[in-house]
Amino acid sequence: MKKFLISLAALLAFAVPVSGAGIERGQKTFGIRAGYATINHAPMAGIEFSYAFSPHFVLSPNVDYVFRNERLDALLFNIDYNGPWCLSHDGRLYFYHILGLNYASWSTREPEVESSDDVTTRFNRIGLDFGAGFSFYVTPTLRLSLQGKFNWIKNYNTGLFNLGISYVF
């Protein structure tokens, strides 16, 4: 783990932001993603959109659904700022940090003992996101991404890890 962190720090130290190489002002992406939520050890799926205001400021709203497991599921709405740094000279590989706001609607399901009804209780919370990710431009119109972020929400803190594929236009 220590070698991994040292390697990551060295990679970031030598990362050179290249303006306009792969991310240009006005670039938009739309895609789907799938992943894993740590709070209930369940899969998640979602859609994402992004708009590049500049090569180093990308706004990325997305919606994710965390599937029910351990009597808990959620619908997550995020507005994230991504700060990309180019890691390759051809502008195809990027590292980015994530900072954002989150609105989450968590549902807990508790079976009633006296009856066979399934009672759902919903908790709506506002929180913060922070994390990091990598994106790779396979072609000028196809992007693959890998990201991990932490949702800091009262009583529902969770790690979210996902893979995505997006159309770039």
Q: What is the 3-state secondary structure (H, E, C) of the chain?
A: CHHHHHHHHHHHHCCCCCCCCCCCCCCEEEEEEEEEECCCCEEEEEEEEEEEEECCEEEEEEEEEEEEECCEEEEEEEEEEEEEEECCCCCCEEEEEEEEEEEEEEEEEEECCCCCCEEEEEEEEEEEEEEEEEEEEEECCEEEEEEEEEEECCCCCEEEEEEEEEEEC
Residue 129 lies in a domain: yes
Residue 91 lies in a domain: yes
Residue 26 lies in a domain: no
Residue 64 lies in a domain: yes
The enclosing domain of 39 has a CATH number of 2.40.160.20
- What predicted TM-score, i.e. pTM, was given to this entire model? 0.79
- Distance, in Å, from the CA atom of 96 to the CA atom of 59, rounded to the nearest integer, reads 12
- Domain housing 110: 32-168
Residue 18: predicted pLDDT: 39
Residue 82 lies in a domain: yes
Q: Which two tokens stand for residue 153?
A: 């929400």
Count of structural domains, the chain: 1
Residue 117: predicted pLDDT: 65
Residue 19 lies in a domain: no
Q: Which residues contact 20 (CB under 8 A, 6 or more apart)?
A: 55, 91
Q: Name the residue among 64, 28, 30 with its Cα closest to residue 44.
A: 64
Residue 22: predicted pLDDT: 73
Residue 7 lies in a domain: no
- Distance, in Å, from the CA atom of 168 to the CA atom of 2, rounded to the nearest integer, reads 36
Residue 15 lies in a domain: no
Residue 105: predicted pLDDT: 95
- Distance, in Å, from the CA atom of 61 to the CA atom of 46, rounded to the nearest integer, reads 11
One pLDDT digit (tens) per residue for the chain, 169 residues: 666 656 645 544 444 443 344 789 999 999 999 999 999 999 999 999 999 999 999 999 999 999 999 889 999 999 999 999 999 999 999 999 999 999 999 999 876 666 666 677 889 999 999 999 999 999 999 999 999 999 999 989 999 999 999 999 9
Q: Name the residue among 118, 106, 109 with its Cα closest to residue 155.
A: 106
- Distance, in Å, from the CA atom of 69 to the CA atom of 40, rounded to the nearest integer, reads 6
Residue 81 sits at φ, ψ, to 5 deg, of -100, 125
